[in-house]
């Protein structure tokens, strides 16, 4: 019988298989966090193919569930991924149970064994964030969240019934804009001395887009819902008075918000709970790294040098990913929006 791989090669592969896979998984995570949101503004096919391949490979040999949580910049490659919410929830339960089982099975009572507990906690938090975001971005769930608004939009059945009744009573009835030609003087909070680096016009565009997306509920359009009369008339009145550059810039920011809601961790990261979890996971990872470095440096250990090096690479890589995630969080449109809420008022647009 002819061997495809010689016995020494197979022994070396068995020796390096797990180490190699966790390193590959780390570099896939690095690739995803840098390129995960590039397709938001780059439509080239090679970018999409690269992200698609990295997204599929990201589940290889997870580092204590940490890599399964994925970076903040991408949770789903396509909207169909959000529809698999039950599978992701089951995956969270099964993977967490398997990781806990393996940890207990390999438990030796050493410091390294104890350090796996906080890293396992970080992995569960990040995987839980991803699962929650996928479930909330599910089409039905997102539609239900929009429909809980106080303004559910116009009821065309009731509108047409009243229209016909008035017409039958002899009134000259026409459908017209409410307060036609009038747009109230909306204001937003400008930032002076805040971390935001945007110029006043860019901040104005950002707040207009947020006003349309959140206050006037333009996100209804992405789940095939209709706008109410007031949002429709108000937005029409605004865009008719703007130059094309301003109009397209507002729409661009709105589409960016929409992309983040459906494809990234933005719905949870930019909340008090999300900020707390990000600070906690960063502090835990840094503490584990420092503790591991101290214990290896001052005590004799039985671990192989290559295993120590791989562990350093994984922990330092995880810390760098956390640092980049925090940087991206601070420089995002969502953060700039938040920073600019506490200062002097500048008009958004006036009628």
Q: Which residues on adjacent β-strands are paired with residue 187?
A: 347
Three-class secondary structure of residue 346 per DSSP: strand
| Average confidence (pLDDT) over 255-266 | 91
Show me where the domains of the chain are located: 7-137+271-331, 143-263+339-349
Name the pLDDT band for 126 (thresholds 50, 70, 90).
very high
Name the pLDDT band for 184 (thresholds 50, 70, 90).
very low
- How many Å is the Cα radius of gyration of the chain? 26
Mean pLDDT for the chain?
A: 79
**Which residues are CB-neighbours of 271 under 8 A, at least 6 positions away?**
none
Q: Is the dihedral of CA 104, 109, 111, 117 positive or negative?
A: positive
Give me the count of residues in the chain. 351
User: Rounded to 5 degrees, what are φ and ψ at 176?
Assistant: -135, 165
Give, in order, the Cα–Cα distances in Å from 273 to each of 142, 206, 246, 261, 339: 20, 24, 34, 16, 18
- Within 10 Å of residue 55's Cβ, how many Cβ atoms? 20
Q: Please, what is the end-to-end C-alpha distance for the chain in angstroms?
A: 86
Asked which of 5-9, 134-138, 334-338 is least confident by mean pLDDT, the reply is 5-9
Instruction: Identify the DSSP state of 303.
Output: S
Read off the pLDDT of residues 271-325 as tens digits, 9 standing for 90 and up: 889 889 999 999 999 999 999 988 876 556 677 788 888 889 999 999 999 898 8
Which one is predicted more confidently, 6 or 208? Answer: 208
Q: Which long-range contacts (CB under 8 A, 24 or more apart) does 275-280 make?
A: 277/125, 277/129, 278/322, 278/325, 278/326, 278/329, 280/125
What whole-number distance in Å separates Cα of residue 290 and Cα of residue 307?
Answer: 17
H runs (alpha helix) in the chain: 7-35, 45-57, 79-82, 85-105, 111-136, 139-147, 156-168, 200-210, 229-240, 244-263, 266-269, 272-298, 305-331, 333-339
Read off the pLDDT of residues 148-174 as tens digits, 9 standing for 90 and up: 655 555 555 565 566 677 667 666 555
Nearest Cα to Cα of residue 134 among 211, 201, 77: 77
**Which residues are CB-neighbours of 245 under 8 A, at least 6 positions away?**
none
Which one is predicted more confidently, 231 or 323? Answer: 323
User: Rounded to 5 degrees, what are φ and ψ at 7?
Assistant: -60, -40
Per-residue confidence (pLDDT) for residue 113, from 0 to 100:
83
b/e map of 143-156 (b: 16 or more CB within 10 Å)? eeebeeeeeebeee
Is 26 a residue whose pLDDT tops 80?
Answer: yes
Three-class secondary structure of residue 188 per DSSP: strand
């Amino acid at each position: 019988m002819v061997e495809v791989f010689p016995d020494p090669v197979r022994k070396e592969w068995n020796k390096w298989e797990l180490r190699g896979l966790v390193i590959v998984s780390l570099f896939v995570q690095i690739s995803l966090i840098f390129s995960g949101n590039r397709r938001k503004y780059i439509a080239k096919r090679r970018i999409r193919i690269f992200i698609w391949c990295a997204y599929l490979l990201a589940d290889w040999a997870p580092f204590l569930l940490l890599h399964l949580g994925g970076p903040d910049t991408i949770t789903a490659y396509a909207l169909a991924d959000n529809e698999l919410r039950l599978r992701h929830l089951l995956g969270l339960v099964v993977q967490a149970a398997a990781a806990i089982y393996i940890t207990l099975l390999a438990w030796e009572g050493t410091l390294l064994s104890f350090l796996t507990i906080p890293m396992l906690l970080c992995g569960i938090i990040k995987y839980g964030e991803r699962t929650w975001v996928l479930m909330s971005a599910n089409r039905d769930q997102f539609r239900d969240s929009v429909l809980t608004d106080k303004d559910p939009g116009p009821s065309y059945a009731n509108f047409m019934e009243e229209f016909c009744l008035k017409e039958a009573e002899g009134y000259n009835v026409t459908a017209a804009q409410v307060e036609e030609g009038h747009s109230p003087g909306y204001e937003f909070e400008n930032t002076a001395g805040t971390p935001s680096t945007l110029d006043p016009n860019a901040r104005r565009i950002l707040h207009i887009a947020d006003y349309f997306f959140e206050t006037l509920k333009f996100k209804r359009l992405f789940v095939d819902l209709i706008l109410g009369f007031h949002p429709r008339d108000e937005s029409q009145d605004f865009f008719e008075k703007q130059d094309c550059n301003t109009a397209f810039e507002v729409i661009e920011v709105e589409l960016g918000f929409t992309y983040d809601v459906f494809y990234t961790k933005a719905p949870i990261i930019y909340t008090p709970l999300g900020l707390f979890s990000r600070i906690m996971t960063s502090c835990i990872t840094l503490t584990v790294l420092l503790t591991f470095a101290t214990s290896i440096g001052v005590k004799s250990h039985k671990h192989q040098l290559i295993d120590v090096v791989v562990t350093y690479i994984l922990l330092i890589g995880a810390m760098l990913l956390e640092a980049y995630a925090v940087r991206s969080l601070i420089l995002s449109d969502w953060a700039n929006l938040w920073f600019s809420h506490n200062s002097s008022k500048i008009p958004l647009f006036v009628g």
